[in-house]
Structure 1
Amino acid sequence: MNAVPVLLGYTAAVGLLAPRLLLRAAWPHRAPALAVVVWQALMAAFAIGAALTTYNLAMPTEHLHAGLVGLLHSCGLHVGPGEPSPATADRLGIALPAALGLALLTGFAFHVARARRARTRHREAVDLVGRRATRLGATVLPYDTPAAYCLPGRRPRVVVSEAAVRELTAEQLAAVLEHERGHIAGRHHLALAVAEAFHSVFRRLPLARHGRQQTALLLEMAADDRALRRHSGEALATAMYEMAAARTPKGAFAAGGHSVVIRVTRALGPRRAPHPVLRGAVAAVAALVPLLPLIVACPPLLG
């Protein structure tokens, strides 16, 4: 059976239709960490589907003869002298998926390295001008606007301004600091780098655009949930509102930011976790989605 039509249809559905369905669903804001996993599973599924589609187009098959090489040859685009050879198709079949995988890995490494450099420079500045507050487990900066953010990575820092320490209540400040620790403990900078890398390769794809935006928002919600396990929604919401206008350095996660309105509304509203059955079903789908292209393309392996 020719797997190309199935792979094309599946990859298109993952890249174009799945983001719309996920954006309309209500459960992602109730289980943001799981929703991040789903978005990244869709990205993995699209990348695998695209790689396998190009591989199957390029490799000689019973129905396509010389695959993509033969198609180009029949259209008058000669990729080599004479008729397309199986060896040429073999090389093309390996090169195209490899190029896609290399582009994604390179993009991930680039975004991780760039953010790390920015965090390192800022961490050095913070260590010079800030003072370590052992009681808070954070570095306090002489800054007149309430602000708090974290610098994740190998040498993480939680940073808070003197204005935030002075103007927030003890519970509000504790909620903000717990939010920042949630980013560090969850290694959220790596999940964000995955979404950035995918977007850099598939910039115009709805899955890439929405996936990057939603990953950033959902990671903030996941950190909010850590704070809400120990502190009230009112304390966290008020602190986020106070810090909404604060600027965030590159490579950092801030308790404020442009998503504050959505997150404040969520923190103040009723918090209902998805039913365990729904959680299990979503987790199973997230695990299966990247495997489906492999099942379609490699049915003999299942026998």
Structure 2
Amino acid sequence: MNAAPALLGYAAAVGVLAPRVMLRGGWPHRAPVLAAAVWFALAASFSVCVSLAALHLATPGAHLHGILYSCGAALGVGPPDADAVRRLTVVVSVAVPAAHAAAFAYHLLRARTARTRHRKILDKVGRPSARLGATVLDHATPTAYCLPGHGARIVVSSGAVALLSDAQIAAVVEHERVHVAGRHHLLLAAARSFAVVFRGVPLARQVGEQIPLLLEMAADDGALHVHPQQTLVTAMFEMASAGTVPKGALSAGGRTVHVRLRRILAPARRTHPAFRAVVAGSAILMPLMPLLVACPPGLA
């Protein structure tokens, strides 16, 4: 039995229905790291499924070839060339991981080039501050961001230094340290590459939108482990009007501040440990599900 129809059905469920389920749940904002892992697991599962479906389409004598022949006959189109279909599907199966790798490398290198260029500017106009643990940049708009990767740098504008207290600046800097330590720029590049490769698929669109937000929430949680909630909240509120940051940088301010503030100020609700364990286990197994669909136990 050819597994291509089942794989395509599974891909449709993961690509269209799974994002709706994720967005309806309230738990992702309470456990942003776990939610990010689930989004990436869905993305990996979808990619593997598409590649396997293409390989099964290339299988000689597959039932799906008969379906294609019948559809072609009904539409007055000649029968498909089996060799051409086989070559095309094999190319697609190889192109999916290759496109992922190329898109990931492109976004990574592009952001790295932008960060390197900005570091050179900071070396000329920035003022390193050992007290703040950051580089101070003369700019009236209160803003703070980090340049992750090799030679990581945390930047705070002079406007932020004038507006915030030392405790508030320390909380903002800690937020950026979490980004750097967690290598969040790599996760952002992976999310953007998936969104580009499968542009138009609801899952890809949501991965591209949700991962940046969840990483900001994770950085907020990291800062809250070190600093009082009120300190971080007031700093975020003051930084809500922060302008754009350089390409490749991660910012404590920006357009997601209001969503993150509502999350922090909402009544504390923790996800149950059993629920977290089940979700984490599901995230680990999800990329393997296409393999079970393609080769169910007992049907080898």
The aligned residue for residue 2 of structure 1 is: 2
The answer on whether the counterparts of 1:234 and 1:268 sit within 8 Å (CA) in structure 2 is no
* 1:150–1:301 distance in 2 versus 1, CA, 3 Å: farther
Aligned partners of 2:60 and 2:82 also within 8 Å:
no
* One-letter identity of the residue aligned with 2:144: A
Q: Which runs of 5+ in 2 are unaligned?
A: none
Corresponding residue SS for 2:155: strand
Report the Cα distance in structure 1 between the residues aligned to 2:281 and 2:172, rounded to whole angstroms.
33
Aligned to 1:35: 35
1:156 and 1:71 map into 2 onto residues whose CA distance is 59
- Give the corresponding residue for 1:258: 255
CA–CA distance in 2 between the matches of 1:301 and 1:193? 39
Aligned runs of 1:45-194 on 2, under 5 Å? Answer: 45-64=45-64, 76=77, 84-85=82-83, 91-194=87-190
1:288 maps onto 2:285 in alignment: yes
Matched, 1:272 2:269: yes
CA distance in 2 between partners of 1:300 and 1:26 (Å): 35
Deviation (angstroms), 1:148: 0.5
Q: Secondary structure at the match of 1:290?
A: helix
Matching residue of 1:249: 246
Contact 1:59 1:67 (C-alpha < 8 Å) held by counterparts: no
Q: Report how many residues are paired.
A: 297
Amino acid at match of 2:252: A
Question: Could you tell me which residue of structure 1 aligns to residue 21 of structure 2?
Answer: 21
- Out of 216-225 and 169-178, give the one that drifted further: 169-178
Write the distance in 2 (CA, Å) between the matches of 1:300 and 1:271.
44
CA shift, 1:89, in A, is 5.6
Give the root-mean-square deviation of aligned CA atoms.
2.2
> How has the CA–CA distance of structure 1 residues 28 and 203 changed in structure 2, closer, same or farther, with 3 Å as cutoff?
same
CA distance in 2, matches of 1:13, 1:116: 35
- Bigger CA drift: 261-270 or 281-290? 261-270
2: distance between equivalents of 1:210 and 1:264? 21
When structure 1 is superposed on structure 2, of 121-130 and 93-102 the one drifting more is 93-102
Question: Does the 8 A contact of 1:126 with 1:141 survive in 2?
Answer: yes
SS in structure 2 at match of 1:150: strand
| Helix, strand or coil at the partner of 1:61 | coil
Query: CA, structure 1 residues 71+41, in 2 after alignment: closer, same or farther (shift >3 Å)?
Result: farther
Give the CA deviation at 1:110.
Answer: 0.7
Contact map agreement 1:58 1:66 (CA 8 A) in 2: no
Match of 2:44 in 1: 44
- Any gaps of 5 or more consecutive residues in structure 1? none
Tell me how far 1:302 sits from its aligned partner. Answer: 9.2
Distance 1:184 1:109, change over 3 A: same
Distance 1:71 1:139 in 2: 67
Shift of 1:77: 5.8
Partner Cα distance (2:85, 2:199) in 1 = 28
Moved more, 174-183 or 101-110: 101-110
TM-superposed CA distance for 1:135, in Å, is 2.1
Contact 1:178 1:227 (8 Å CA) reproduced: yes
Deviation of the 1:119 alpha carbon? 0.8
After superposition, the C-alpha distances for 1:174-197 in whole angstroms (9 at most, x for unaligned) are: 110000001001111111111111
1:179 and 1:223 in contact (8 A); partners too: yes
> How far, CA to CA, are the matches of 1:299 and 1:13 in structure 2?
18
1:207 aligns with 2:200: no
Could you tell me the percent identity over the aligned residues? Answer: 54
Greater CA deviation, 283-292 or 241-250?
241-250
Deviation at 1:142, TM superposition (A): 1.1
User: Hey, what's the Cα distance between the residues in 1 that align with 2:266 and 2:171?
Assistant: 17
Shift of 1:202: 1.4
Is the 8 Å Cα contact of residues 4 and 64 (structure 2) preserved in structure 1? no
Cα 1:301–1:245, aligned 2, differ >3 Å: closer, same or farther? Answer: farther
Distance 1:106 1:302, change over 3 A: farther
